[in-house]
């Protein structure tokens, strides 16, 4: 479905450049309100991360929603998954998040959740876009929406997260370093772990509106690694700016990525209450993850890169666990969307129950070496439609066998083909990857 404004994760861009301007945000709020009003008197909850521009967009959205007769609850700085949860908890018509996730402060975005706490359906986004092309009107004065600030939003979400951790367990005795990326989890993240008994040391928990994701958080875990070693902590947890991605650090200072986290959660679930079906990864999930999941007797399916596609695959199959190496992890038996705090608690449950360290738990997955080469091409095209390239890929796959794979993927934004080869032996995959890149360059460069 072709859409003018909505991408795979809402509307995002540079603040001050269309559409991330107040005029558009106000019109978007009004258009969304008109769509929601079709099913009765609507209400929405609005949360945001810590970007300075969040105030600008929040006020504009609020005005547009009010003009369409929508009641608004302002949640303040809250993680993206908290907005999804609170939209359900308050029986709101929708939840709106003002955030650009792991992007720098000068970007921002707006995304929606439906009343069930899941991403807004494509059809609803299409309807909103249709209303955006209509002249804006204002409801009668007695029909305008009201706004209130939800003062207890933080506490509600903290209790929701804690409920995903077994009541009979405690984090007492664990020293944890938490890096909140100066973002939306800076209050709720440390509070959850402290209230469950952990000794918490914080990193990047002092937002100033412009330091979100700056050399910190899940995309830059170096400061967390150093803090874990300096403080002799048991482990470290890093969130991204809006709290839907996580990476971890073990007590040796080594980074534990999303693939490894998913494997640990899957293994713990198998031991406690066996998973039905399997696990969803993406085209970029490490082959070691697939092997580990299959060795547990579970199915493994790869979706396209992006949490939207992981969610779609889980929904289609009725499974509950999936995610990406970047740390976007979905536990549908606990919540409705990717939630970094809840994902962390599932790993901590495994740590406490097993009596093992994070470093010991991660031994259940051996990462396969990967080689990636970006090849510039003359114009965007599907490399697998070229007979010579397709034959070379087939030959490479035969050589790698069942414990290796080849992926040729066209960039969505540049005239590039990403050639990725994965297998057990670095020398072999380096040679195969270079041969395939040369083949692509010769045919399409």
pLDDT range class, residue 412, cuts 50, 70, 90: low
Is-contact 179 238, C-beta < 8 A?
A: yes
> Is the pTM value of this prediction over 0.95?
no
CATH domain 370-444 topology: TATA-Binding Protein (3.30.310)
Q: How far is CA 66 from CA 44, 196, 364, 382, in A?
A: 10, 39, 52, 47
Q: Which CATH superfamily is domain 11-151 in?
A: Alpha-D-Glucose-1,6-Bisphosphate, subunit A, domain 3 (3.40.120.10)
101: annotated active-site residue? yes
Point out the catalytic residue in the list 53, 101, 218, 326. Answer: 101
CB contact set of 120 (below 8 Å; sequence gap of 6+): 94, 111, 112, 113, 114
Question: Of 2, 357, 46, which is closest to residue 176 (Cα–Cα)?
Answer: 357
- Residue-wise pLDDT tens digits, 310-322: 999 999 999 999 9
CATH domain 172-256 topology: Alpha-D-Glucose-1,6-Bisphosphate; Chain A, domain 3 (3.40.120)
Query: 388: part of which helix (H) or strand (E)?
Result: helix 387-400
Per-domain boundaries in the chain: 11-151, 172-256, 258-364, 370-444
Stretch 128-133: mean pLDDT: 96
pLDDT at 365: 95
258-364 sits in which CATH class?
alpha beta
pLDDT at 167: 96
Report the chain's mean pLDDT, rounded to a whole number: 95
- Residue-wise pLDDT tens digits, 158-193: 999 999 999 999 999 999 999 999 999 999 999 999
Stretch 116-136: mean pLDDT: 95
Would the CATH topology of 172-256 be identical to that of 370-444?
A: no
- Residue-wise pLDDT tens digits, 228-272: 999 999 999 999 999 999 999 999 999 999 999 999 999 999 987
Is-contact 326 281, C-beta < 8 A?
A: no
CB contact set of 69 (below 8 Å; sequence gap of 6+): 33, 37, 41, 42, 139, 143, 144, 145
């Amino acid at each position: 479905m072709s859409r003018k404004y909505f991408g795979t994760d809402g509307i995002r861009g540079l603040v001050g450049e269309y559409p991330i301007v107040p005029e558009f945000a106000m019109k978007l709020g009004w258009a969304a309100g008109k769509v929601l009003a079709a099913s009765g008197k609507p209400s929405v909850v609005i949360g945001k991360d810590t970007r300075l521009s969040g105030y600008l967009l929040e006020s504009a959205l609020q005005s547009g929603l009010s003009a369409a007769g929508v009641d608004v609850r302002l949640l303040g700085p809250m993680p993206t998954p908290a907005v999804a949860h609170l939209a359900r908890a308050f029986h709101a018509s929708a939840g709106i998040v003002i955030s650009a996730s792991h992007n720098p402060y000068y970007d921002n975005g707006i995304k929606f959740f439906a009343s069930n706490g899941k991403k807004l359906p494509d059809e609803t986004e299409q309807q909103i876009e249709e209303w955006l092309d209509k002249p804006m009107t204002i409801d009668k004065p007695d029909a305008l929406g009201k706004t209130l600030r939800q003062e207890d939003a933080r506490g509600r979400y903290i209790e929701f997260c804690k409920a995903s951790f077994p009541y009979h367990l405690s984090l007492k005795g664990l020293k944890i370093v938490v890096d909140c990326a100066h973002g939306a989890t800076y209050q709720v993240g440390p509070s959850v772990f402290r209230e469950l008994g952990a000794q918490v040391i914080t990193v990047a928990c002092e937002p100033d509106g412009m330091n979100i994701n700056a050399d910190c958080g899940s995309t830059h875990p170096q400061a967390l690694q150093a803090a874990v070693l300096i403080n002799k902590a048991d482990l470290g947890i890093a969130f991204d700016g809006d709290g839907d991605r996580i990476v971890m650090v073990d007590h040796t200072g080594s980074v534990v990525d999303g693939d490894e986290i998913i494997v640990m959660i899957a293994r713990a679930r198998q031991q406690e209450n066996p998973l039905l079906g399997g696990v969803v990864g993406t085209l970029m999930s490490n082959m070691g993850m697939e092997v580990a999941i299959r060795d547990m007797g579970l199915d493994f399916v790869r979706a396209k890169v992006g949490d939207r596609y992981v969610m779609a695959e889980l929904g289609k199959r009725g499974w509950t666990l999936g995610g990406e190496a970047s740390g976007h992890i979905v536990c549908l038996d606990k919540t409705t969307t990717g939630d970094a705090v809840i994902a962390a608690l599932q790993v901590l449950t495994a740590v406490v129950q097993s009596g093992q360290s994070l470093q010991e738990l991660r031994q259940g997955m051996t990462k396969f070496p990967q080689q990636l080469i970006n090849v510039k091409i003359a114009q965007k095209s599907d490399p697998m439609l070229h007979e010579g390239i397709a034959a070379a890929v087939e030959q490479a796959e035969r050589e790698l066998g069942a414990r290796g794979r080849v992926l040729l993927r066209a960039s969505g934004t540049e005239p590039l083909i990403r050639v990725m080869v994965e297998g057990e032996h670095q020398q072999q995959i380096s040679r195969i990857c270079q041969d395939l890149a040369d083949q692509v360059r010769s045919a399409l460069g």
